[in-house]
Amino acid sequence: MKKTLLLLPFLAVPFGSAHAALLVYEGFQYGADGDSLVGQPDASPGDVDATGLDGTWTDSFSNTEMFLKAGSLNFSDLATSGNHVGYESNSNQDVFNRGFSSSVTSTIASTGGAGGSLYFSFLFEKLQNNFGADHEGMAIMNGVLPAARWDGSNNPGAVGRHGFAVAAVGGSNLQAVAYDGTTGTRTVGVNALPISVVNGSSNTSTSNASVNLIVGEISFNTGTGGADVFRLYNVTDNGSLDASDLVLIDTIEGDVDESSLSTLNLTRQVNVNYDEVRVGTDLDLVLGIPEPSSLSLLALAGLGLLRRRR
């Protein structure tokens, strides 16, 4: 059963404690069906901005072919809200990006410095199979990616480029990628997360038939010689999400400067949909499972409303 993410404007409910926090939540809760993602959110009445992101979405390639689509992608009982985003053309290339807030970058830096873990998740659906998916990926980097594609010499390692990505590097399936900006090395996982294709040659709408919930886990400074360990997971849909649903796809290492991680990137050429981007310091929170303390606050808020009505 799908859950709807309930937003209570009258109650400020923390996403987590000082030791477990949902740092970023982007449910695309703004704009109208068919609007370009560029410049969103545009402060229209009723818009709800993302948590933990600054400014608006931009496209460094200026092709602006990512659009808001009505409703959320669905996966198991993941709590969702707002719209989703997708691509209506398989020409041109796009690198959509938006910066983290200063508090998020600071928390990531302190988490990494303490040898903690960072988690992220997002929904992904590939719509078209007329050529490979080596044009798409999601990345948490220290800036904007220079290219939309990931194959060959595109988005290579380079001195000064730090970050982690889930991207189609060698075909239509997604792999773990880590960038060590000190040595200029890009490490790509051997195993790939298989992606199914829906809608054949159609480039419109979404079927929710082959939506993947993809999870990344970054354990800072716990690998060989103090490198960071990056694990990529697929998630099985058994109707009720929890940590037991994660299927480990691959584990790689990269020495990333966590203090520089500042930007969320979504890239594409072929037709794909993205939705429900979460970044946090707790696995349950990026699976959309609220902490018990948050549930208690919500219950108290509901009790307060009942008392008011009486």
Q: How far is CA 52 from CA 23, 153, 275, 288, in A?
A: 6, 32, 16, 16
Tokens of 65: 């072919």
The β-bridge partners of 94 are 268
Segment holding 266, helix H or strand E: strand 263-268
Tokens of 183: 């040595």
CA distance 180 to 159: 8
Instruction: Judge residue 99's burial from the number of C-beta atoms within 10 Å of its C-beta, 0-12 exposed, 13-18 middle, 19 or more buried.
Output: middle
pLDDT > 70? residue 235: yes
CA distance 28 to 264: 14
Least confident of 46-50, 198-202, 238-242, 304-308: 304-308
CA distance 110 to 61: 32
Q: Which domains does the chain have, with CATH numbers?
A: 20-309 (2.60.120.200)
- Res 300: pLDDT: 43
The β-bridge partners of 251 are 231
CA distance 115 to 129: 41
Tokens of 253: 């290492």
Closest CA to 155 of 279, 37, 60: 60
CA distance 130 to 139: 24
Q: What is the mean pLDDT of the segment spanning 97-125?
A: 97
- Res 25: pLDDT: 98
Instruction: Judge residue 37's burial from the number of C-beta atoms within 10 Å of its C-beta, 0-12 exposed, 13-18 middle, 19 or more buried.
Output: buried
pLDDT by residue (tens digit) across 36-83? 999 999 989 999 999 999 999 999 887 667 899 999 999 999 999 999
Chain centroid offset of residue 137 CA: 10
pLDDT > 90? residue 17: no
Q: What is the mean pLDDT of the segment spanning 95-100?
A: 96
pLDDT by residue (tens digit) across 159-174? 999 999 999 887 778 9
pLDDT > 50? residue 224: yes
- Res 127: pLDDT: 75
CA distance 14 to 16: 5
Closest CA to 141 of 177, 106, 175, 188: 177
pLDDT > 90? residue 107: yes
CA distance 150 to 154: 5
- Res 93: pLDDT: 82
Q: How far is CA 54 from CA 62, 63, 97, 98, 114, in A?
A: 19, 22, 11, 7, 25
